[in-house]
Amino acid sequence: MKILIADPIAPAGVAFLKSQPDYEVVEAYGSMPEQILKLVTDVHAIAVRSETRISAEVLAAARLLKVVGRAGVGVDNIDIDAATERGVIVMNTPGGNTLATAELTFTHILCGFRPIVQACAGMREGRWDRKSYSGSELNGKRLAILGMGRIGAEVAKRAQAFGMRVMAYDPYLTEARADALGVEMVELAEAISSAEVISVHMPLTDATRHMLNADAFARMKDGVRVFNCARGGIIDETALADALKSGKVAAAGLDVYEEEPLAAGSPLRSLSNLVLTPHLGASTTEAQESVGLEIAEQIADVLNGGMVRNAINMPSVDTKSLKQLQPYLVLGERLGSFLQQLAPEYVEQLRIRYYGKIVDLDALPLTRAIQRGYLKLISEHVNDVNAPKKLAALGIEVEVVKSSSHAEYTELVEAQVVCRGGKTRTIGGTLFGKNQVPRIVTIDDNGVEVNPRGTLLVLKNKNVPGIVGFIGTTLGDDNVNIANMSLSLDRGQGFAVSVFELDSAPSEAASNKITSHPAIEKFRIIQL
């Protein structure tokens, strides 16, 4: 397999990939976009940092591509939607540079309170301006952290060590997590209006772009200090420059910018109360070594069919959980495929329900397996990455429920489609025995026991004598062997549902003969 390293990563990471058997590693640092397009035509993986852009055009050219690994946190240079559409896993290394970025952030905060940078410049120019460089203390100041992820949490720890009072705005922060970190949960409006220090630690999205704009600065306290070592574009740079000039913002520090590199003529460069660094968040020896080796190991895991970690566009599962889930994933994919072939037309909704002990596991990978199985025969190049998007493109809504209600089995996975007009078809499956063998145990309201593999013939017929014999004779005349069968009477309606496990598919003539029998209501050949 071929791996393209488009941007420099730690030598340890490159060496790790080169040490893997059957890997061809191509180092193409500093390549122009047109060169990248030529290089990716036969690669299975690409490793990047922030320099090389993995656009939709690059992804379309990379026909064999399975994974893009970003040695770092931000994935702004990767077209996530295009990658997802093509089933390409996008991964990053969110933990590798956490401490480096947190420490740089706090360095900026310290420089915002004590004008070290400006005083150093004055000393180099021969001045001794002690009075000009008076600062303030961090102790007792209210710090608002916007985004309480890994980095935000580390900044909070350092701020608390300096005696700062820490507030946190994060839509996904729980009270339990806030209590554990010792921070006060606040809404964005309160964070902006009541803080004396604001530090940004959120991703750049449509919702966060220019979150700190002219209106936000107007609502801040006079003399506030603002810092951003997360993503350029969250702060409106024009509005920040105006606030720094007016004194509304006493000091600020930026490590990231709306356009990088920062233009030589940018007005930000001339502001004496603004400290600028050229995107140094992860620029420590330890962080670069960590993220370089980490992304190399993650890429190798994917290419070797192992665990997926730190994926942006699909579930990531730890090794222990993956081992527990593996038998369910096989069951889930077959349930999805069975259900689609059972009810192939006019489906508007896919409902997935989990019962019993399985509700305690991370069911997201299992949900993806069911979705993948459902799409297996009706869409090309389906995998865990693009299955949800492909279902959405078909107009099929997906609903997932974990139920604590009683089921007949210790664990039960149930998949149901809702067709146009409200009609439903439902199947359920579980694992049998110590070997956790997958079995289909319900079709609609009928109990069965079916091995979900190979060729299955599913019938619904009037409960009259001779049907089983008719099927056996017809298939026998067609030289098709019945390996097993399961039969269930439809409750009180005079119908029977039966599933025949076949060694091969019946011919068209045999299928026509079966469907023409007056007692047979429904007939499906299902291939798993």
- Give the residue numbers marked as catalytic: 231, 260, 279
Pair 243, 249: CB distance under 8 Å: yes
Residue type, 313: N
Cα gap 194→173, rounded to integer Å: 19
Count CB atoms within 10 A of the CB of residue 527: 13
Cα gap 164→107, rounded to integer Å: 15
φ/ψ of 158, rounded to 5, equals -70, -35
Look up residue 476 and give its two tokens: 């026998």
DSSP string, 445-492: TEEEEE--SSEEEEEEEES-TTHHHHHHHHHHHTT--EEEEEEEE-TT
Cα gap 237→214, rounded to integer Å: 10
Cα gap 68→59, rounded to integer Å: 10
Residue among 307, 298, 377, 364 nearest 96 (CA): 298
- CA atoms 228, 234, 237, 239: torsion sign: negative
DSSP string, 391-416: HHHTT-EEEEEEE-S--SSSEEEEEE
Pairing of strands 165-169, 142-146: parallel
Cα gap 293→2, rounded to integer Å: 18
Pair 346, 419: CB distance under 8 Å: yes
- Provide the b/e sequence for 227-254 (b: ≥16 CB within 10 Å): bbbbbbbbbbbebbbebbeeebbbbbbb
φ/ψ of 290, rounded to 5, equals -65, -50
Contact residues for 33 (Cβ-Cβ < 8 A; gap 6+):
53, 55, 58
Cα gap 99→161, rounded to integer Å: 15
DSSP string, 25-89: EEE-TT--HHHHHHHGGG-SEEEE-SSS-B-HHHHHH-TT--EEEESSS--TTB-HHHHHHTT-E
Cα gap 104→255, rounded to integer Å: 9
Distances (CA, A) of 322 to 327, 374, 437: 9, 21, 17
The helix, strand and coil proportions of the chain, stated in percent and rounded to the nearest 5, come to 35, 25, 40
Residue among 113, 196, 199 nearest 153 (CA): 199
Pairing of strands 24-27, 197-200: unpaired
